[in-house]
Structure 1
């Protein structure tokens, strides 16, 4: 089988092009997609897919990109989908990204030029120890990079181009799905799985080289709305009940030494406030709640409610509403029923010359919800690191290995078919 080689630097060219298109999603927006600018990248991707000769590539009204690489095998091969998301995190600006390629990294501190206080140090980014001699891509210090998940987009596009250019590589029908709004938990809200027509899928949205993730958090979102009592501050004694202070009391009363992102790891969950807004009369706090076990997730929601109730007792004229909504669930429940999806992914990673790392992810992917929608979908490494912040980085060589893994997945499924 031919191996993918990035001889013309097409991978870096694609990636640096994509990250310069601002696609930040907005959790407060009610539109689909949450920001129209995500479609700007969608249109670019469709144009490139059409130029490759993938004739059905299109962008729908909701901001999803669909495309099909037809089967060239005489076998009956399950239809495989490769999926990545186009949006970047609301946590850090994705506007005017200036990608920098640090060629032949040798372990030095990487000082980002537009804000020299942003420094990538090996002791703070342990995965850099495996990158000696590789080419590291960062932003310039004032924005995130957007490797989450434009690394995945790039790798799927590179693999698609390679398969189209090399019809001698046998594969079944391959579906491509690029989604909006994954970072705000809505990535597959409007995905049309009937139109997609895939049997199994792989999101390309992981971190460390060789990782394949078959387990995610289960996730809920929570919105706390507090209605306080507003009066003139000069005559407020015994009357005013500030909704802002009530919400602040709730947040400060949550455990700090546990159940918080900054104090948890491995299989530990958390309750995390992500947005505060409001006035004396009404204030709102938004939370994300995470656990690997659904029962534990429910217990965290109950703890949040109990905390609010305890605080509100000190404010007899104030009221609150706590609305908890499901976001996604741990995909392991589904994937355990289809072991071949993981087995073939592991085999594909091995064929790329990498040691596979089957593991859990302290987060979620579109694959979490796709799995429960009927498309079993683990997560494959994309080579993105330190995502959602200004220190985000990616390795060109790791991305090349991800491209080869995608190609290998298609080949393995064809080989195993009858």
Structure 2
């Protein structure tokens, strides 16, 4: 545990923000630099088969220390940070023994307030690592990497802990939906794995949204506004009318738990052409199909009566709910639950209101539920994590490896 926080604070100095505008993998140079650093650290720790491929995927093995067959298991985390906020020049601070109230971030007026983030009420006495209010922290998912590294280091230093082969994998570009694209499942050679990419202590997740992206384009006619009567068609007017007809109660700010949503993520607007970009989410595939059908129906309505269609719709599926791929292997979840209980952590089984590499990997033949890191408020300047939460995650990763070996003894 002595190296856990130092390791994490070192990791967040790497600017690994992924870039969706780039087609290469990794999509940013910082991820390659970080991957090279991690490869060397894994080598220095004494792991075997340490590799960094041309696409930025880092893999390594901690060999079994028992003389009987134990399934190889993996632990996976992603190296990139989200494009939603800057990941450059991260300057974290540690608030020791938090006793409530606002936490000042850096030198400005930005604060982390329990009024807006009531989870803080449950964290009195904890040591909290925050940003300085100008960048994200990068706990998503450098905390997961630090926890996996520290767990492996602990296991190496305690040979009395039984374990089978432990596979370690660090992926690029998870935040832009590409983390599993080039992951070599056969090379990784684990029977199952866990992404260490969750939030508060106790989270254990094996179901996630079915996801799709929708692009709606509106074609207008631009002429000089002084002579526009009867000629101009303002595509921005069409786009605003379209957005106004989206279900108001089915947006991220109005949904929780198993409720799906339509989310307008960004727009490109001009008189002649406007484009609305949506993401569609639902835990049930039929629910996602209904959302797609709703958009199709609205587009047809907007085009009805027009001599030529002015609205076009493109829908692309992104990922599916991994539950059907994981729940057929209940022992994977049972081992994680038992590990948490053995560490004094109460399992909090809930759906992921998003996606992880594990969702894609589960459909690629590597069942892969998600466990907590101890972090909060990912993707923004109010991101934070607790030292105690990170320590709990390390203990759980170690215990999962131990529980697996005990189960197959």
TM-score range, shorter chain: over 0.9
In structure 1, the partner of 2:137 is: 145
Aligned 8 A contact 2:48 2:63 in 1: no
2:50 is aligned with 1:57:
yes
Superposition deviation, residue 56 in structure 1: 2.3
Deviations 1:242-265 (A, max 9, x none): 333333332232122x11001111
> Does the C-alpha gap of structure 1 residues 59 and 239 become closer, same or farther in structure 2, counting only changes over 3 Å?
farther
In structure 2, the partner of 1:3 is: none
Match of residue 59, structure 2, among 66, 76, 95: 66
Superposition deviation, residue 382 in structure 1: 0.6
Superposition deviation, residue 241 in structure 1: 2.2
In structure 2, the partner of 1:405 is: 396
The unaligned stretches of length 5 or more in structure 1 are 1-5
- Indicate the SS of the match to 1:345: helix
Match of residue 6, structure 2, among 13, 19, 24: 13
Match of residue 249, structure 1, among 241, 253, 260: 241
Question: Whole-Å Cα distance in 2 between the matches of residues 276 and 314 of structure 1?
Answer: 26
The unaligned stretches of length 5 or more in structure 2 are none
Superposition deviation, residue 317 in structure 1: 4.8
In structure 1, the partner of 2:217 is: 225
Aligned 8 A contact 1:241 1:317 in 2: no
Match of residue 394, structure 1, among 357, 382, 385: 385
Match of residue 78, structure 2, among 64, 80, 85: 85
In structure 2, the partner of 1:132 is: 124
Superposition deviation, residue 347 in structure 1: 0.5
Superposition deviation, residue 315 in structure 1: 6.3
Superposition deviation, residue 37 in structure 1: 2.3
Aligned 8 A contact 2:105 2:133 in 1: yes
Compute the RMSD of aligned alpha carbons. Answer: 1.7
In structure 2, the partner of 1:178 is: 170
2:324 is aligned with 1:333:
yes
Superposition deviation, residue 194 in structure 1: 0.9
- Give the structure-2-normalised TM-score: 0.95
- Indicate the SS of the match to 2:265: strand
2:278 is aligned with 1:280:
no
Aligned 8 A contact 1:228 1:317 in 2: no
Aligned 8 A contact 1:259 1:271 in 2: yes
Question: Whole-Å Cα distance in 2 between the matches of residues 40 and 248 of structure 1?
Answer: 43
Matches within 5 A, 1:14-413: 14-116=7-109, 118-256=110-248, 258-313=249-304, 317=308, 319-413=310-404
Aligned 8 A contact 2:218 2:239 in 1: yes
Question: Whole-Å Cα distance in 1 between the matches of residues 296 and 39 of structure 2?
Answer: 45
Question: Whole-Å Cα distance in 2 between the matches of residues 34 and 197 of structure 1?
Answer: 26
> Does the C-alpha gap of structure 1 residues 309 and 33 become closer, same or farther in structure 2, counting only changes over 3 Å?
farther
> Does the C-alpha gap of structure 1 residues 315 and 149 become closer, same or farther in structure 2, counting only changes over 3 Å?
farther
Superposition deviation, residue 318 in structure 1: 5.0
Superposition deviation, residue 122 in structure 1: 2.2
Superposition deviation, residue 403 in structure 1: 0.4
Deviations 1:347-367 (A, max 9, x none): 111111111112212111111
- Indicate the SS of the match to 2:101: coil
- Indicate the SS of the match to 1:206: coil
